[in-house]
Structure 1
Amino acid sequence: MSGGTVLVNRPVITAWSAVSPFGIGRAAFTEGIRERRPAAAPLEEERWQAAGDRACLVPDFDLRTVLGKKGVRSMDRVTGLAVTTVARLLDDAPRNRWVATGEDAALVLGTTTGSVQSQMDFTRDSLTGEKPYLVDPARFPNAVMNCAAGQSAIWHQLKGPNTTIAGGHAAGLYALNYARRLLTFGRARTVLCGAVEEFSHARSWLESHAHQPDTEGPAQLPGEGCGLLLVEQRGPDARDGADAPDGAEQPVLAEILAVEMGIALDGGVRPALAACLRRALERAQVRPEEIWAVSTSEAPGPSGEQERAAVAEAAGGADPVHLTQAALIGDTGAAAAAFQIAGVLVHAETTPGAAGRVALVTSVDRDGAVGCALLRLAGPR
């Protein structure tokens, strides 16, 4: 899957936020990454009835507390995570809400399958309820994969394209590539793009049955959350500046040099990812030795080994900094790649000399999706 032609005016990331196992908001994620603080905690057995006894949950995440009582009666956890993350990003700076809402503001959200818990609950109710098989119609939207993106747009007046992309652990990169295309072809002025994953009873058991300890080694603790980026074309804002807030200059955090996706057939992660990396480096006109920092998906077992081998091959003789976070926030599923990008931005913001350097983000999913993104970092602000 090719990423397109070489772009002179490439899209840029101008803001980001996260609702993660470190807490709610950008500051909480930044603090957790800097402190290298593990987020794992014991699960309440009666509430979750999960396959394990520990997980990396967003702490104290209660919909009524975070979003208020209005409109959340039938909202599920994954939708609440997405709506909250959009709210935090828009509220982080007056400029964010000014440029990222309205008719030309798009939302692209990556997922695995939406809310597995909502799908299973609704299906079970339709089979076990008394005739004529009554179910709660208010809960049906939660069983649809694009519910989180749709509700986020309704809550926050995002009236442009609204897209949900299923891609497992690579969903954040699929979303970033889709956002880049929307901007390149003039379909949106700004794009909020990212990915979301919830922890639930259903997901914990599905993951436990899908994991193959003989080939993948010990399972990572499950995690959850939502990572979101504000992506725009570099340059003057396209909106009329009459109502521009103070500090409306474009605060570039990173330039998106390339995004490449591929499919690994029959477990061939290394050749598939290596091909993506070669295309990305060529399209971005970046030499291997220029790669300064790398964030891999930290996939378990042979897939992770092949991922690291492909990155080492692409980096040539360079010795990039390897950024890790899975040990801190667990396996965050579809949100993983979005959190990887956020982690790279945190590292750049706190590292002297980061300006102008290139970071590589790679992702591998057990179902065969592989991908990478190259970012040129702006460095400390």
Structure 2
Amino acid sequence: MNAPGTGAAEAVVTGLGVVAPNGIGAKAFWDAALEGRSGIDVIKRFDASSYPARIGGEVLDFAPDGLLPKRLLPQTDRMTQYALVATDWALADAGVDPAALAEYDAGVITASGSGGFEFGQRELEKLWGDGPERVSAYQSFAWFYAVNTGQISIRNGLRGHSSVVVSEQAGGLDAAAHAARLLRTGTITLAVTGGFEASICPWGLVAQLPSGLLTDAPDPQRAYLPFDATATGWVPGEGGAILIVERADAARARGVGQVYGRLAGHAATFDPRPGSGAPPALEQAVRLALERAQVNPEDIDVVFADGAGVPQLDRAEATALASVFGPAAVPVTVPKSMTGRLYAGGAPLDLACAFLAMRDSVVPPTIGTRDVPADLGLDLVLEQPRELPVRNALVVARGSGGFNAATVVRRHP
């Protein structure tokens, strides 16, 4: 995504919708983030006491009844229900009536990592327990990576270019960048973008354990500790965010009431194969994103870091940031320390955080982390939010398997 400057085709964000473990709705989530209120706890949706990892960031208070038509509930996994409701909220926040849009002017580009795991688990239980005749016909798509894109498109009549990006936690940044490219080329004038996950269920947890990257810490307050010397892995989470991204001229033409900011520059890279001896490619992604946004390292006011909570991954990220910005030269924060890692939902939620930080001139803290090794060279925002003007922010995301992505977002004039 090359920098669109201040021209009509620049991609601006006009609406946000959030469903997260520590807040349902953008306001509730942002209030919790600034208060340092975590949604991480012992897993409650099922008995995880026999699992090596027993801590998660669950969305427990979401009630789709009354928010979605009843006919949709048996058709959809929880993550799709989150996505549909968050899209409703984001469109309302942007003041967009989908019915008033031209037929092919709006599209949907979402990120996905696991699809509808819980729906799939439930139908497999029916298959082996009750027989194939009991399996829902909706299993044919409710588990699928592209289902959120499809359901959002159908529900809102958005018939422009639509697609899904699968690059694990980096996918949310990649999806937003693809949306911005489509806007810039005139393919569409409005995009619904973001990502959601809801894979905290027995099958979903078992699928995540073989990575060896989940923490087995029993204390929710000390389980997920990005950049901490005692970190032992990450906590899985669920939820995510939806952003409404528009061409600036189209937003002005419809009399938009607010603009959170601009998607100014993006880059994606892929790490070399393990054992090759080649360096990780995260630093290259950061440098390219800055270049494409036409900003210098000293112009960045805050970094929303990936913050894996895995010592070797955190050190690699800290090394990349120190190389680009200098040691402790820019504030760094990891708000997902309050939600767990949301996989495809994590980067969209960080983008929402970055835009809210711009609006309110305040950076949410990283919680839990206490002992940051001095040689990491990080100015990590800890315990309390930090008030500072945010004109330019960098969001970093990495996906398991070698995916790297970085996006620069800028305050809109």
Q: TM-score, normalised by structure 2?
A: 0.80
State the Cα deviation string for residues 4-49 of structure 1 (Å, max 9, x = none).
x553333122221211112221111111111110112333365778
**Structure 1 residues 6, 223: closer, same or farther in 2, change over 3 A?**
closer
Task: Give the drift of 1:309.
Answer: 1.2
For structure 1, the 5+ residue unaligned runs are none
Q: What does residue 303 of structure 2 align with?
A: 294
**Structure 1 residues 355, 150: closer, same or farther in 2, change over 3 A?**
same
User: Which 10-residue stretch deviates more, 292-301 or 264-273?
Assistant: 264-273
User: Is residue 232 from structure 1 mapped to residue 233 from structure 2 by the alignment?
Assistant: no
- The 8 Å contact of residues 94 and 257 in structure 2, kept in 1 or not, is answered as no
What does 1:122-271 align with in structure 2 at a 5 Å threshold? 122=123, 125-126=126-127, 130=131, 135-198=135-198, 199-212=200-213, 218-237=232-251, 248-249=255-256, 251-267=258-274, 271=280
**Structure 1 residues 59, 378: closer, same or farther in 2, change over 3 A?**
farther
- The 8 Å contact of residues 64 and 81 in structure 2, kept in 1 or not, is answered as yes
Q: What does residue 312 of structure 1 align with?
A: 322
Equivalents in 1 of 2:99, 2:330: separation in Å?
A: 37
SS at match of 1:137: coil
Q: What does residue 226 of structure 2 align with?
A: none
Equivalents in 2 of 1:87, 1:236: separation in Å?
A: 20
Q: 1:7 aligns with which of 4, 7, 11?
A: 4
User: Aligned-residue CA RMSD in angstroms?
Assistant: 2.9
- The 8 Å contact of residues 115 and 145 in structure 2, kept in 1 or not, is answered as yes
Task: Give the drift of 1:193.
Answer: 0.8
- The 8 Å contact of residues 21 and 56 in structure 1, kept in 2 or not, is answered as yes
Equivalents in 2 of 1:179, 1:283: separation in Å?
A: 16
Q: Number of aligned pairs?
A: 367
Equivalents in 2 of 1:313, 1:137: separation in Å?
A: 52
For structure 2, the 5+ residue unaligned runs are 216-229, 363-386
Equivalents in 1 of 2:24, 2:84: separation in Å?
A: 12
Task: Give the drift of 1:123.
Answer: 5.0
Q: What does residue 34 of structure 1 align with?
A: 34
Q: Percent identity?
A: 23
- The 8 Å contact of residues 289 and 317 in structure 1, kept in 2 or not, is answered as no
**Structure 1 residues 255, 6: closer, same or farther in 2, change over 3 A?**
closer
Equivalents in 1 of 2:392, 2:46: separation in Å?
A: 47
The residue type paired with residue 229 of structure 1 is L
Equivalents in 1 of 2:205, 2:34: separation in Å?
A: 28
SS at match of 2:70: coil
Task: Give the drift of 1:293.
Answer: 0.5
- The 8 Å contact of residues 145 and 164 in structure 1, kept in 2 or not, is answered as yes
**Structure 1 residues 11, 263: closer, same or farther in 2, change over 3 A?**
same
Equivalents in 2 of 1:96, 1:377: separation in Å?
A: 25
- The 8 Å contact of residues 183 and 189 in structure 2, kept in 1 or not, is answered as yes
Q: What does residue 92 of structure 2 align with?
A: 91
The residue type paired with residue 59 of structure 1 is L
Q: What does residue 333 of structure 1 align with?
A: 343
